[in-house]
């Protein structure tokens, strides 16, 4: 357990997982879903990545996990407050990426990002604004629902379609459930269609949370993508 610190002193409770290795290793930022916490990601995809020699850092998003307030304290009746917390979450994601890049045990040229559900939205926006992530994995990710409250406002700060175009050719893997009722298959297909190659959409027979096999497959994919520092380097 570690605390990352923003320039204003805001602390970000985090779980850093480092595999045993002789040299520097690849790493990934892990972003959890709504009403969840860092441990869910660290104990699932984080553990799978560790077994494949990839480090990870899972962070508690604002109002989640070990943070001071509960997520129930935020209401869609206060859209500006929601936007403020979203922007804070993006800053924190960027801070976590910078932490990985500066860590002495991690190769800054081999960093990825993994997001689940709400974290998938955040992973896209964070990756689109940073050159550090070389590959992106989205679990239960998709476009916004058709009836999103304050849709026009949300699109200005968290438009998944605009963000996925911002990956600019970095490899993308989407992992979605055929029977997901939170992120519908149609939302996943819309986001996938907006992305550029290389991209892949894998379906599993399940709901919102991916089964163990899908998690292992995603870990295999990301480890392969981060194994070559030159194949997917983003142009300066």
> What confidence score (pLDDT) does residue 75 get?
47
Q: What pLDDT digit, counting tens, does each position of 87-138 carry?
A: 888 999 999 999 999 999 999 999 999 999 989 999 999 999 999 999 999 9
> What confidence score (pLDDT) does residue 23 get?
85
Q: Which among 162, 161, 156, 120 is positioned nearest to 137, based on CA atoms?
A: 120
Q: Which residues contact 103 (CB under 8 A, 6 or more apart)?
A: 27, 55
> What confidence score (pLDDT) does residue 112 get?
98
Q: Which among 107, 138, 125 is positioned nearest to 33, based on CA atoms?
A: 138
Q: Which residues contact 158 (CB under 8 A, 6 or more apart)?
A: 86, 121, 125, 144
CATH for the 2-225 domain, from 3.40.50.1820, 1.20.1300.10, 3.40.605.10, 3.40.50.1000: 3.40.50.1820
> What confidence score (pLDDT) does residue 22 get?
77
Tokens of 16: 């850093």
C-alpha separations of 31 from 50, 80, 90, 96, 146 in Å:
16, 22, 11, 10, 24
Q: Which among 175, 158, 163, 57 is positioned nearest to 111, based on CA atoms?
A: 57
Spans of the chain below 50 pLDDT:
75-77, 230-236
CA distance 34 to 195: 24
CA distance 114 to 13: 17
> What confidence score (pLDDT) does residue 88 get?
85
Entry pTM: 0.89
> What confidence score (pLDDT) does residue 150 get?
52
Going from N- to C-terminal start, the domains of the chain cover 2-225
> What confidence score (pLDDT) does residue 117 get?
93
């Amino acid at each position: 357990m570690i605390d990352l610190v923003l320039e204003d002193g805001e602390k970000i409770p985090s779980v850093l997982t480092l595999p045993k290795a002789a040299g520097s290793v690849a790493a990934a930022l892990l972003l959890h879903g709504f009403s969840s916490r860092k441990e869910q990601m660290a104990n699932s995809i984080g553990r799978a990545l560790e077994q494949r020699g990839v480090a990870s850092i899972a962070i508690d998003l604002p109002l989640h996990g070990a943070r001071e307030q509960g997520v129930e304290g935020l209401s869609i009746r206060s859209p500006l407050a929601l936007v403020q917390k979203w922007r804070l979450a993006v800053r924190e994601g960027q801070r976590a990426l910078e932490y990985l890049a500066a860590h002495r045990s991690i190769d800054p040229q081999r960093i990825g990002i993994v997001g689940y559900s709400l974290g998938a939205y955040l992973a896209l926006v964070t990756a689109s604004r940073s050159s550090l992530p070389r590959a992106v994995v989205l679990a239960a990710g998709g476009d916004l629902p058709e009836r999103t409250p304050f849709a026009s406002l949300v699109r200005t700060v968290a438009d998944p379609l605009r963000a996925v175009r911002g990956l600019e050719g970095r490899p993308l893997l989407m992992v979605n459930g055929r029977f997901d009722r939170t992120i519908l298959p149609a939302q996943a297909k819309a986001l996938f269609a907006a992305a550029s190659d290389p991209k892949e959409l894998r379906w599993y027979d399940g709901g919102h949370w991916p089964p163990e096999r899908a998690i292992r497959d995603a870990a295999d994919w990301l480890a392969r993508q981060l194994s070559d520092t030159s194949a997917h380097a983003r142009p300066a």
